[in-house]
Structure formats: structure tokens, C-alpha cells
Amino acid sequence: MLLLDGKKLSEKRLSALKKEVEEHYEKTKTRPGLAVIRIGDNPASKVYVGKKVKACHDVGIHSVEVLFPESVSEEKVLTEVEKLNRDPAINGILIQLPIPKHLSEKVLMERMNPKKDVDGFHPLNRGKFLAGDDALIPCTPLGIMNLLKEYKIEIKGKSALVIGRSLIVGRPMSLLLDQAGATVTVAHSQTKNLEELCERADIIVVAIGKPHFLSSQKIKAGAVIIDVGINRLESGKLVGDVDFEKYKSIASAITPVPGGVGPMTICSLLENTWKSFLNTQ
Ligand code: NAP
């Protein structure tokens, strides 16, 4: 079994990015900048944003974290987004999800300058991505594609199953696999024949947010499993949506949790920030 080591690959890619950032700085005395807006006290968001800010620091990307209390008005966040849209030192803007219920994700994302939308959530980026044009692509599925490429996992002509259809992970993942030549099936909470779909798939991506959801289903011998889930158990242990131990001897390749998709997501965020920066030079 091949362990798809996202930690190792992200370190390799980020070290290459650091070199590019430094070389560019030597020539121009400018660096990319990422702004992260965090609203409220969600402890997981605090950890994720901390990791993103640290990664920026390590690579030489300027970063700012903008904090708002849970009760902040939509108007106030929109004013900040517009300020960052105009700020020449900022090339990427990210609003850490989830946001409080009284705020509209759609309204906030639509106000963002699409050229700075490093999460790929603006409708313009979504539309371009759907059409197969150059766009900023959501970080998690983009990171997964880079991981599959690094380990030379064949996609063309394969049968792929994506479990989960969120706009952040499942849906863009299914589109990327489709664009890469796989025949894709998307499963969700209304799917009736999941067992059968699992048995048929060459590549299975699980992104639903339920600890060890994939554990009893039969899979094809030699299938590739990508586990996107990050679930913290009451014991504090971090587990994915897939029972790694159960499948490690059946799958031909599998991602661990932690150390699989998570680090690739952060890596793609920084690479998207670099892409946005270069597009404005
Ligand atoms: P989400 O928005 O809650 O979407 C969950 C999806 O799973 C929905 O499409 C839902 O179907 C589907 N689903 C729920 N129960 C199901 C079931 N029993 N059978 C089949 N499908 C089911 O979640 P998300 O934002 O995509 O995140 C999914 C997981 O990935 C979470 O654990 C999250 O923490 C993790 N995540 C990890 C990274 C990373 O970098 N590793 C990044 C983002 C997210 P319906 O559409 O029918 O409701």
C-alpha cells in the first residue's frame, strides 16, 4: 500500500514556493500578502487560521489576521472586505468558515475581488472553473489533485466516487476528477446504493465529516482512497471519515489523517495566493 503523504509533499512544494517568493523579493522588493478574516471564537477555526498564518510566515508571504466578534454586523465585515480589496499589499483574502448564522456567506463572498478570492468561492471563479477556464480553484480539491499527480495515480478512464457534495470540497472535487478524465459518481445523504457504488469505484474520495464513516463498506481491491474528513473525537484524537486500519491492506493507496489532505489544503492556499500575486504584477 502506498501512503499518500500530504505532509511530505506540502513541505516539498512550500519549500519550492519559498524559493520563488524570495527570488522575486530580491528582484522587486515586493511579496505576496494574504488576509484572513476570522469571525467568532470557533476553536477549530482558530487552529486552522493559526496554521495558515504560520505557513505564510515560513514561506515569506506577508499575512494579516482580521478578527471580529461573533456579533459583528454584515456591514462591518463588508467594509473590511472592501478595504482589503483595495489594499495593494494584499493579494489573497480568505474568510474562515463557518461564519455566524446571521451573516450571509454568499453576500460576503460576492463582495470579494475575484482576483483575490484564493479560496475560489466567488461566482466568477466558480463559473470559470466549471467552464474549464483558468480560475482560482478551491484549495482542498486542488491539493488532492496535486497529491494524486505526485504519486502518479492514474485518473483518466477510472471510475471515481466522491462521497459528499459541498461547494467547498465534494462538488469541486467531482468536477476536477471529471476534467481529469474520470467517470465520476457523486454520493450524498440521499444516496440509496452507496455500498454498491463503493464496490465499483477505482478512486473513492470521502468528504462528509463523520468519523470512520467508511468502515464496513466493501471496496475494490487496489482502490485509491482519499480521506478529507477531519473529526475530533471526545478523547481529543483526530480521525478521518475513513477507517484507515480497515482499508490499508485492501487499498493500493490511501491518505492518512492527520498528514494527508489537511497539509495539502494549506499548501494550495499559499500557491493560490502566489498565483493571485503574479496575476497582478
Ligand atoms: P459539509 O458541508 O457538511 O458537507 C457534507 C456532505 O456530506 C454533504 O454533501 C452531505 O450530503 C454529505 N453526507 C452527510 N451524511 C452523509 C451520508 N450518511 N452519506 C453520504 N453523504 C453524506 O462538509 P464539508 O465542508 O464538505 O466537509 C466534510 C469534511 O471534510 C469535514 O470533516 C471537514 O472538517 C473536512 N474538511 C477537511 C479539509 C481538509 O483540509 N482536510 C477541508 C475542508 C473540509 P447532503 O448534501 O445531501 O447534505
pLDDT of residue 280: 86
Residue closest via CA to ligand 1's atom 47 equals 189
CA of 79 to the centre of ligand 1 (A): 31
Most ligand 1 atoms within 8 A of CB, residue of 188, 190, 192, 241 to mutate: 188
Looking at ligand 1, which atom is closest to the CA of residue 260?
41
Please report the DSSP string for 5-46 in residue order. Answer: -HHHHHHHHHHHHHHHHHHHHHHHS---EEEEEEES--HHHH
DSSP string spanning 70-121? Answer: TT--HHHHHHHHHHHHH-TT--EEEEPSP--TTS-HHHHHHHS-GGGBTTS-
Our mutation pick for probing the ligand 1 site, out of 146, 208, 242, counting the most ligand atoms within 8 A of Cβ, is 208
CB-defined site of ligand 1, < 6 Å? 140, 163-166, 168-170, 187-191, 207-209, 228-231, 261-262, 265
**Atom 15, ligand 1: residue with shortest CA distance:** 189
| pLDDT of amino acid 281 | 79
Atom of ligand 1 nearest to the CA of 169: 26
Alpha carbon distance 65, 203 (integer Å): 37
Q: pLDDT (tens digit, 9 = 90+) per residue, 131-172?
A: 999 999 999 999 999 999 999 999 999 999 999 999 999 999
pLDDT tens digits for range 88-106 = 999 999 999 999 999 999 9
Label residue 38 exposed, middle or buried (CB < 10 Å: 0-12, 13-18, 19+): buried
**β-pairing verdict for 253-254 and 224-227:** parallel
Instruction: Report how far ligand 1's centroid is from the alpha carbon of 164 (Å).
Output: 5
**Average pLDDT, integer, range 51-63:** 98
Give the phi and the psi of residue 49 in degrees, each rounded to 5: -65, -40
Looking at residues 260-273, what average pLDDT do you find? Answer: 98
Point out which residues pair with 3 in neighbouring strands.
254
The whole-number pLDDT of residue 38 equals 98
Same fold, 29-116 and 139-261: yes
DSSP 222: T
Question: To which CATH superfamily is domain 139-261 assigned?
Answer: NAD(P)-binding Rossmann-like Domain (3.40.50.720)
For the chain, percent of residues with pLDDT exceeding 70: 100
Q: Where are the domains of the chain?
A: 29-116, 139-261
Could you tell me the distance, in angstroms and rounded to a whole number, from the CA of residue 212 to the centre of ligand 1?
Answer: 13
Number of neighbouring beta carbons within 10 Å of residue 154: 13
Measured in angstroms, how far is the CA atom of residue 255 from the centroid of ligand 1?
A: 17
**How much is the pLDDT for 257?**
98
Indicate the fold that domain 29-116 takes in CATH. Answer: Rossmann fold (3.40.50)
Positions annotated as catalytic residues are 52, 96, 119
pLDDT on residue 250: 97
Q: What is the pLDDT of residues 163-199, one digit of tens each?
A: 999 999 999 999 999 999 999 999 999 999 999 999 9
